[in-house]
Amino acid sequence: MANGKALKLAEHLRKYLLLYVIIAIILALPIGYSAAGFIKTHKPLMKNMIITLAILTLFPSMVQLKLEKFGSELATKKLETIIALIIIFGVGPLTAMLVAGYLPNKPISIGFVAANSVPASSASIAYVLLAEGNIEFATLLAIISIIGALGVVPAYVGLYARTVSVSVPVTVLGESVALALLTPFILGQLTRYYLVKRRAKKVLRSTEIELPCKKIETHLSGLEEALSHIEDALECIEGKIDKKIKPYLSLWTMLAMLFLVGTLIAAKAGLLVKKPMLAADILGLQGIVYGAVIASVIAVTKLMHLSYEDHAAITFISLTKNESVAAAVSVMAIGAAAAIPAALVPAIQPVIAILYLWALPYLGKALRMPRREMIAITTPAR
């Protein structure tokens, strides 16, 4: 019953997430503006709140991350992975660096670069799932983007900060990225082990599974078959546990994100009220970054004849960034003003993702993207 309520609430929030983000921003502006004195005199408290909320927002996606999918998918998609990483770590951040100079405030422009250098968001794989894309490939890219961000984010943010003559110590950047990413990653994987993997083994031990025991006595292949039965059973049980806890994790993510957005906006409400066009400038420039990323994925799809499923995986992992990481890094390394882009981007990111979901089937037909199931049907059996 509780699981059903959590699922309904999570689906409701996901459906109207954009609306709730806008409501959070609208409510945070007057609250932050009226509490400007409190916020100014309690900067360490606000900073710690933002960092904590950022880690809480990222934690559920780290619980759902399946590291066991990493090796097998990488072995079959080496070239596609390299191309995807060039787009993820190259096109988005470099485009952001090119246009960030149009923002009037240097810390905010640095934060804009940070917002486009962070890894994929917790919603990225969900979008790939909705698009009927390659989930395994998307998971691989998400894992690599998290690992790569440990070096990429400090490199891009530090480089851009130097170009605008702002001093940001590399050690501080590195520490902030490590804290924002590694803390929820380690906690998430430990939680996954105890909540999913260990629990699945416990369920398996209490369940009778028929194994080919006679074959084991005489053939090594029989032992391999028995082990495959156990692995399949474990994967099945883990899948059921994942499905059971997913509504709670999704609900956690969205609620934490709404509180994070509200806190970030409230922290700099005075600046946004005085300069209302600043938000429009940030969102407009973010649209340019999205356009560059989408154009590059389409170009690569045509050149390499990528499948529809792989195109969807690369697109959504490249487009949807985890702005909670950007918020934490910006606040820790630069200041609260630098976190404004991370607070505003969630207002446009779901819109772009949903519009692309709607357009993808038509784009797939226009570009003649092959579908994996069609390839399987037309390829003769050996």
- Fill in the amino acid letter for 317: I
Tokens matching residue 369: 């993207």
- Residue 220 included in any domain: no
CA atoms of 269 and 46, how far apart (whole Å): 13
Instruction: State the DSSP H helix or E strand holding residue 209, giving kind and residue range, or none if neither.
Output: none
Give the Å distances, CA to CA, from 339 to 96, 145, 359.
15, 21, 31
User: What's the domain range around 184?
Assistant: 2-190+247-370
Nearest residue to 88 via CA among 317, 284, 307, 278: 317
Give dist(CA 51, CA 28) in Å, integer: 18
What local confidence, expressed as pLDDT, does residue 71 receive? 67
pLDDT of 233: 65
Contact 24, 261 (CB under 8 A): yes
Say if CB 344 and CB 63 are below 8 A apart. Answer: no
What local confidence, expressed as pLDDT, does residue 211 receive?
Answer: 45
In a domain, 268, yes or no: yes
Q: Is residue 218 part of a domain?
A: no
CA–CA distance, 125 with 306 (Å, rounded to integer): 18
Write down the number of H helices and E strands in the chain: 21, 0
Instruction: Give every CB contact of residue 110 below 8 A, 6+ residues apart in sequence.
Output: 100, 157, 160, 161, 164, 166, 168, 330, 334, 338
Q: What is each CA distance from 176 to 43, 181, 218, 326, 342, in whole angstroms? A: 17, 9, 57, 10, 15
User: What is the full per-residue pLDDT of the chain (382 aa) written as tens digits?
Assistant: 566 777 888 888 877 877 888 888 889 889 988 988 888 888 888 878 878 887 887 788 777 777 766 666 667 788 889 999 999 999 999 999 999 999 988 999 999 999 999 988 766 877 787 787 887 888 888 888 888 888 899 999 999 999 988 887 777 778 878 877 788 888 888 888 877 777 777 766 665 544 444 444 444 454 455 555 566 666 677 777 777 877 888 788 788 878 888 888 888 788 788 888 888 999 999 999 999 999 999 999 999 999 999 999 999 999 988 888 888 888 888 888 888 898 888 878 877 887 898 889 889 888 888 886 544 434 444 4
DSSP state of 202: H
* Number of other CB atoms surrounding residue 335 within 10 Å: 17
Sequence-separated (6 or more) residues with CB below 8 Å from residue 307: 134, 369, 370, 371, 372, 375
Burial tier of 348 (Cβ tally within 10 Å: 0-12, 13-18, 19+): middle
258/18 Cα distance (integer angstroms) = 10
Provide the β-strand partners of residue 321: 120
213 within a domain of the structure (yes/no): no
Tell me, yes or no, whether 230 lies in a domain: no
226 inside domain = no
CATH number at residue 251: 1.20.1530.20
Instruction: For residue 234, tell me if it sits in a domain.
Output: no
- What pLDDT score does 229 carry? 58
Instruction: Quote the Cα angle for 254-345-278, to 5°.
Output: 135
Q: What is the H or E stretch that residue 109 is in?
A: helix 106-115
Q: Could you tell me how many residues make up the chain?
A: 382
Whole-number pLDDT of residue 219: 47
* Residue-level pLDDT at 112: 95
Question: How many domains is the chain built from?
Answer: 1
Amino acid residing at 182: L
Domain for residue 233, yes or no?
Answer: no
